Amino acid sequence: MNFNLLGAIGRAVLAFLQIAGRLLLFSIEGLSHCIRPPYFPRLVLRQMIEVGYYSIPVVSLTALFSGMVLCLQSYTGFSRFSAEASIPMVVVISLTRELGPVMAGLMVAGRVGAAMAAEIGTMRVSEQIDAMTTLSTNPIKYLIAPRLIAGILMLPFLVLLADIVGVFGGYLVGVYKLDFNAQNYITNTFEFLETLDVVSGLVKAAVFGFLIALMGCYHGFNSKGGAQGVGRATTNAVVSGAMLVLVSNYIITEAFFAK
Amino acid sequence: MTGSAAKIEVSGLRKTFGPKVVLDGVDLELNVGESLVVIGGSGTGKSVLIKSIIGLLVPDSGSVKIDGQEITTMRPSEREAVIRKFGMLFQGGALFDSLSVWENVAFGLVQGRAMSRREAKPIALEKLAQVGLDPEVGELSPAELSGGMQKRVGLARAIATEPEIIFFDEPTTGLDPIMADVINDLIIHCRKQVGASTISITHDMVSARKIADRIAMIHQGKIIWSGPVSAIDDSGNPYVEQFIHGSAEGPIEMQVLKP
C-alpha cells in the first residue's frame, strides 16, 4: 500500500497549526483595533442593534420552550422520588448555568455568524475591502472591530433575557400544568440560586459572543472565489461558531466549577 | 524627494501564487503627470501588478518606490501615509452597497481624512457633478445604478480626495462603446483637473490609444515592450503587433484546448 499515514497526519497537524496561528493573529489585530482610536460609534451601534435587538425574538422563543420542556422533564424524573419541590431550582440553575448561554449562543451563531460571513465575504469578493484600503481606511478597524465589540457586549444581554424568559417558561408549565403553587414556585426558584450561577452564564455569553463574531468575520474576510466562496465561508462560520460555543462552554464550566 | 522625476519606480517585482508565477521581474516607471497604460491579455498579471504597487498584495521580492520612498519594507503606519496619495477605480466599481452613492464618494474624506459628514457632502456632490451625475443620484443606493453609472461613481470616489496617483483597473470593460468613450473622456478630464499621474490597465485598445501618453505591454509576468502611444503601430514587436490587431495567430498562444 502506497499510503503514507505519518505524512498524512503531519500534513493535517501542520494545516491545523497554520489555521490556528492565522486565527490568533487575526483576533489579536481585531481586538487591538477595538481599543485603539479612532472609534466608530455609529458602526458599533448598528452592529449592536443587528446582533442584539434583532436576535431578541429568536432567543426568547428558544429560551421559553427550553424552560418549559425542562420543567416538564424534571417533573417526570423528580416525581418518582417525591422531590417535586426541587424542580424550580433545577430549572433555574440549568438555565442560568448552561441552557441559557448555550441555546442563545447556538441561535446567534446561526443568525449573526452567517450574516457577518456573508456580508464581509461579499465585500471581499467584490473588491470592496480592497477599495476601503485604497481610501485610507483600515478594513479591520472599520468592519471587524465593531462586530467583535457588538458580539462581546450584546450576548450577555441576550443570555440574561434567555434566563428570565426560560424561568418564566418553567413557571408556566409548573403552575398551569403541574399544579404547583405559584408563590412556592417563585420562592423555590430564588432560594438556592447563587450569584455565581448567573455570572458564570454571563461570562460564557461574552466569550461566545466574541467567538461567534470572530468566526463570522474571519471566514468572511478570508473568503475567495465568488458566490461559491461566500457560501462556503458562511457555512464554515456557522459550523465553527457553533462548535467553538460548545467546546468553550465546557472549558469555562470547568474553570468556574471544577472542584 | 530624490532628484528623479519618477513618481513610481518598480524594479524586479516578483509575485507567485503557489506554483504559479504571475509577476516575473517587472520593471516599470511612471513619470510625474504621465498617463501610462499597461496592456496585456487576460490573466497576464495586470491586476496583480497594480495591486502590488498599491500594497493590497505583498510582492515576494523586488522594489516599489513612490516618490523615491521604498514602500515594500515600510511599517504599516508609514505605508498608510503613502496610500493616501493613491486613488483607485476598481473593475467592478467596488462600491460599498451598505452606503448611499454620496456616502460612497465621501468615504475617503469622512473615514480616511476625518472630515465631518456635513463638510464632505458638498464635495461629494461636486465630484458627482464632475462625472456628469445629478445630486439626486447621490441619495440612491449603488444597487439602483446601471453598470456605467457605477463606474462613474467609482471614478468620482477615486478622485474625491484629489490623489496624486490614480489607478484605473479595466475602466471600460463591460461597457458599451459609447459609454466606454464617455468614461475615457471623463478619465482624461479628471486627470487634467486633478493633475494626477495615472496607471491604467486594459485590454481595450481604443481606450488605451485615447487615454495613454505611454503604453507598456505585459506578457507572462514581464514588461516586454514600452513606448509612447504614437509608436504603438510600428513597435516592431511581434507580441504587441498580435495584441493590437487582436489576431489569434502569432507568438502569444492562448491556453485553450484546440479541437
| pLDDT tens-digit map of A20-58 | 999 999 999 999 988 888 888 889 999 999 999 999 999
Of B173, B53, B153, B55, which is closest to residue B108 (Cα–Cα)? B153
- A137 has a chain B CB within 8 A of its CB: yes
| A134/B86 Cβ within 8 A | yes
- B168 has a chain A CB within 8 A of its CB: no
Are B21 and A100 within 8 A, CB to CB? Answer: no
Q: What residues of chain B lie within 8 A of the CB of A134, using their CB?
A: 54, 56, 83, 86-88
| B108/A135 Cβ within 8 A | yes
Q: Which of B80, B92, B94 sits opposite A136 (nearest CB)?
A: B80
Question: What does the alpha-carbon distance between residue A220 and residue B193 come to, in Å, rounded to a whole number?
Answer: 38
- For cell 498579471, what's the residue? B45
Instruction: Say whether A36 sits in a helix, a strand or coil.
Output: coil
Least confident of A113-117, A148-152, A188-192: A188-192
Whole-Å CA distances, B101 to A4, B170, B194, B237: 56, 21, 21, 44
The angle that helices A100-108 and A145-176 make with each other, rounded to 10 degrees, is 130
Average pLDDT, chain B: 85
Question: What does the alpha-carbon distance between residue A200 and residue A253 come to, in Å, rounded to a whole number?
Answer: 8
- For B87, phi then psi, to 5°, come to -135, 150
Q: What residues of chain B lie within 8 A of the CB of A135, using their CB?
A: 107-108, 111-112, 157, 161
Instruction: Say whether B64 sits in a helix, a strand or coil.
Output: strand
| A127/B90 Cβ within 8 A | yes
Residue B229 has pLDDT above 80, yes or no: yes
Residue B132 has pLDDT above 60, yes or no: yes
Question: What does the alpha-carbon distance between residue A187 and residue A172 come to, in Å, rounded to a whole number?
Answer: 15
Question: What does the alpha-carbon distance between residue A118 and residue A124 come to, in Å, rounded to a whole number?
Answer: 10
- B92 has a chain A CB within 8 A of its CB: yes
Least confident of A9-18, A208-217, B203-212: B203-212
Average pLDDT, chain A: 92
What is the model's pLDDT at position B259? Answer: 53
Of B39, B77, B81, which is closest to residue B203 (Cα–Cα)? B39
The DSSP code for A144 is I
Strand intervals (E) in chain A = none
Q: How many CB pairs under 8 A join A and B?
A: 55
Grid cell, residue A150, equals: 457588538
Mutate to test the interface with A, among B71, B88, B110, B123 (most CBs of A within 10 A): B88
- A127 has a chain B CB within 8 A of its CB: yes
| pLDDT tens-digit map of B64-91 | 888 888 888 888 778 888 888 888 999 8
Q: What residues of chain B lie within 8 A of the CB of A132, using their CB?
A: 96, 107
Q: How far is A22 from chain B (nearest CA, A)?
A: 16
- B124 has a chain A CB within 8 A of its CB: no
Q: What residues of chain A lie within 8 A of the CB of B48, using their CB?
A: none
The DSSP code for B240 is H
- B87 has a chain A CB within 8 A of its CB: yes
Whole-Å CA distances, B227 to B136, B210, B215: 43, 15, 6
Q: Which of B56, B107, B113 sits opposite A130 (nearest CB)?
A: B56
ipTM for the whole complex: 0.86
What is the model's pLDDT at position B95? Answer: 92
Size of chain A in residues: 259
Q: What residues of chain A lie within 8 A of the CB of B103, using their CB?
A: none
DSSP result, A52-72: TGGGHHHHHHHHHHHHHHHHH
Of A236, A85, A237, A95, which is closest to residue A167 (Cα–Cα)? A95
pLDDT band at A125 (very low <50, low <70, confident <90, very high): very high
Residue B257 has pLDDT above 60, yes or no: no
The arithmetic mean of pLDDT across residues B158-187, rounded, is 86
Kindly report the pTM of this predicted structure. Answer: 0.87
Q: What residues of chain B lie within 8 A of the CB of A38, using their CB?
A: 114
| B90/A130 Cβ within 8 A | yes
pLDDT band at B193 (very low <50, low <70, confident <90, very high): confident
What is the model's pLDDT at position A105? Answer: 95
Instruction: Say whether A40 sits in a helix, a strand or coil.
Output: coil
